[in-house]
A and B are shown apart, each in its own frame.
Chain A
């Protein structure tokens, strides 16, 4: 049974006939993988890219797609990936950047090396990725570019400045792309998750009391899943979506309340530890 037949949304799938590239899909079970699977389930042919060829190839085999190596800190690697995906799929309609580096480091202790790496991964890389995509999508007569951003590009979180600043910069880059390339039929939007159950946050999820501290910030009573983000991507990727230059907050209302402060988190963890050890 093809992926599209499994969606239950009808025979065709909402992305039937589309081609999609998802970057940041080289971690087992990560957000990029969930997005790629959902795209395939909606009938798209997908290329998946990232740094671990073995994991990518397994996903590509599962989805009947293409796996591409990419070092997002290098222009030549990004360009080769985009070209490789376009060649393999016969053009690109949809491109998602789901890469990220969730560095937690106090502002005053953030090193020049960390800043350089963060800039390369989270601002320069996304910028160069879009530069490579525009001519490819122009030849196709349009397309949908989706940048995975973060709620923390808008709201605060401690010890996360390098990550947050580059995500905010990328959101604004996406707006300029929407403004300058809309006439080519290219739409560009970003999606801002909150805390999401992914391998990137696995360590945090394992700390007793930590996720409980976050949960209070979510009016809908739960934090997000990669499936929530993938659903937002399908919406933005489909031809029925006439939106561009938008930053979608797909985080259950987190921006209405905000993240807990450092002291709140420490107190929540301490309480959970005490309860866990019976003290």
Chain B
């Protein structure tokens, strides 16, 4: 028996189908999560706005690719339907769709607030709605929060404001959807090296300033985040309405001030 066959029979997600949004780059949390889920025996549908990049990654992984703009209800409904059409069920749905928006509060624009809100708040909420509608046998929904909702990072009003709003929705949704056997949680990654943060990791002063605030002495990786998503997606987490922080312990300390690495 190959390891894939073994996983499909005995893996921690054997028999489950998962949708993972935000997987158009091999350095993304979405890609790492898809790979982890497949290794544990799940059927996986990956989605992102960029169809070609997503398709290429899906081909490498042995997953199904669907183009999806998280701000579009039509796309989200079609994404859920695609999983049902292909695999007959939906058990887990993970949303990592995110954009970078940074602006000091004195300069932040309505456009920036709306762009962040569209993806991180409206998109995350509609994601929960459409995934839950497709989960006939119950399931687990996860959306990405951020360390910035609990520790202040300069310039993050639009980003953290919308993410924090989504965390509130997670609790509301968990309360409403529990009776359907659907669990809803968020994962708040700390400063994690990914496609989105690559530019910051290129700056030695930034790396050093952040590492100093991490009790565990190293940065969280996309694989660390995938591991928590796996636990939440499995039948082993009697957990709902929670934000799970994966920050190397930085949630206990602080986000460095810009003046400490400028």
The answer to whether A and B belong to the same complex is yes
Query: Is A249 interfacial (CB-CB < 8 Å)?
Result: yes
Query: Which of B19-27, B53-61, B119-127, B215-223 contacts its partner?
Result: B215-223
Nearest CB on A from B219, distance (A): 10
Query: Is A8 interfacial (CB-CB < 8 Å)?
Result: yes
The closest CB in chain A to the CB of B240 belongs to: A253
Of B10, B176, B238, which one neighbours A250 at CB under 8 angstroms? Answer: B238
Of A179, A185, A234, A243, which one neighbours B246 at CB under 8 angstroms? Answer: A243
| A-chain residues with CB within 8 Å of residue B237 when the two chains form the complex | 231-232, 235, 250
Size bin of chain B's contact surface = 35 or more
Query: Is A214 interfacial (CB-CB < 8 Å)?
Result: no
B215 touches A224 (CB 8 A): no
The closest CB in chain B to the CB of A243 belongs to: B246
Query: Which of B65-73, B85-93, B94-102, B249-257 contacts its partner?
Result: B249-257
A245 touches B171 (CB 8 A): no
B249 touches A178 (CB 8 A): yes
Give residues 158-201 of B contacting A (CB, 8 Å): 171, 174-179, 181, 183
Candidate in B177, B216, B227, B246 with the most chain A CB atoms within 10 angstroms:
B216
| A-chain residues with CB within 8 Å of residue B12 when the two chains form the complex | 9
A219 touches B179 (CB 8 A): yes
Query: Is A251 interfacial (CB-CB < 8 Å)?
Result: yes
B231 touches A253 (CB 8 A): no
Candidate in A179, A183, A241, A242 with the most chain B CB atoms within 10 angstroms:
A242
B216 touches A218 (CB 8 A): no
B248 touches A244 (CB 8 A): yes
| B-chain residues with CB within 8 Å of residue A218 when the two chains form the complex | 178
Nearest CB on B from A38, distance (A): 10
Query: Knowing A187-B216, A220-B238, A243-B244 touch, does A10 contact B249 (C-beta < 8 A)?
Result: no
Give residues 200-234 of A contacting B (CB, 8 Å): 218-221, 224-225, 228, 231-232, 234
B249 touches A179 (CB 8 A): yes
Query: Is B203 interfacial (CB-CB < 8 Å)?
Result: no
| B-chain residues with CB within 8 Å of residue A231 when the two chains form the complex | 236-238
For chain A, the count of residues having a C-beta within 8 Å of the partner chain is 39
| B-chain residues with CB within 8 Å of residue A246 when the two chains form the complex | 244-245, 251
| A-chain residues with CB within 8 Å of residue B174 when the two chains form the complex | 219, 253, 256
A242 touches B178 (CB 8 A): no
- Give Cα distance in the complex from A245 to B250, angstroms: 9
Query: Is A190 interfacial (CB-CB < 8 Å)?
Result: no
Query: Knowing A178-B252, A242-B248 touch, does A252 contact B227 (C-beta < 8 A)?
Result: no
Query: Is B105 interfacial (CB-CB < 8 Å)?
Result: no
| B-chain residues with CB within 8 Å of residue A185 when the two chains form the complex | 216
Query: Is A257 interfacial (CB-CB < 8 Å)?
Result: yes
Query: Is B241 interfacial (CB-CB < 8 Å)?
Result: yes
Nearest CB on B from A172, distance (A): 11
Query: Is B242 interfacial (CB-CB < 8 Å)?
Result: yes
| B-chain residues with CB within 8 Å of residue A181 when the two chains form the complex | 215
- Give Cα distance in the complex from A179 to B214, angstroms: 8
| A-chain residues with CB within 8 Å of residue B84 when the two chains form the complex | none
The closest CB in chain A to the CB of B190 belongs to: A242
Query: Is B239 interfacial (CB-CB < 8 Å)?
Result: yes
Query: Is A240 interfacial (CB-CB < 8 Å)?
Result: yes
- Give Cα distance in the complex from A258 to B136, angstroms: 27
| A-chain residues with CB within 8 Å of residue B245 when the two chains form the complex | 243, 246
- Give Cα distance in the complex from A255 to B239, angstroms: 10
Candidate in B239, B245, B246, B248 with the most chain A CB atoms within 10 angstroms:
B239
Query: Is B228 interfacial (CB-CB < 8 Å)?
Result: yes
The closest CB in chain B to the CB of A249 belongs to: B242
Query: Knowing A256-B174, A256-B175 touch, does A245 contact B244 (C-beta < 8 A)?
Result: no
Query: Is B75 interfacial (CB-CB < 8 Å)?
Result: no
A242 touches B220 (CB 8 A): yes
A9 touches B239 (CB 8 A): no
Query: Is B224 interfacial (CB-CB < 8 Å)?
Result: yes
Candidate in B6, B171, B249 with the most chain A CB atoms within 10 angstroms:
B249
A240 touches B227 (CB 8 A): yes
| B-chain residues with CB within 8 Å of residue A179 when the two chains form the complex | 215, 249, 252-253
By a beta-carbon cutoff of 8 Å, the part of chain B in contact with chain A is 6, 10-12, 171, 174-179, 181, 183, 214-217, 220-221, 224, 227-228, 231, 236-242, 244-246, 248-249, 251-253
Given A179-B249, A242-B220, A256-B241, 8 new contacts (CB under 8 A): A9-B11, A232-B236, A241-B231, A243-B228, A245-B251, A246-B251, A252-B240, A253-B178
25 contacts between A and B (CB under 8 A): A9-B12, A178-B249, A178-B252, A179-B253, A181-B215, A183-B217, A185-B216, A187-B216, A219-B175, A219-B176, A219-B241, A220-B181, A231-B236, A231-B237, A234-B236, A242-B220, A244-B248, A245-B215, A245-B249, A246-B251, A250-B237, A252-B178, A252-B239, A253-B174, A257-B175
Ranked nearest first, the 6 interchain pairs of A and B with the lowest CB-CB distance are: A219-B178, A182-B215, A228-B238, A242-B224, A231-B236, A253-B240
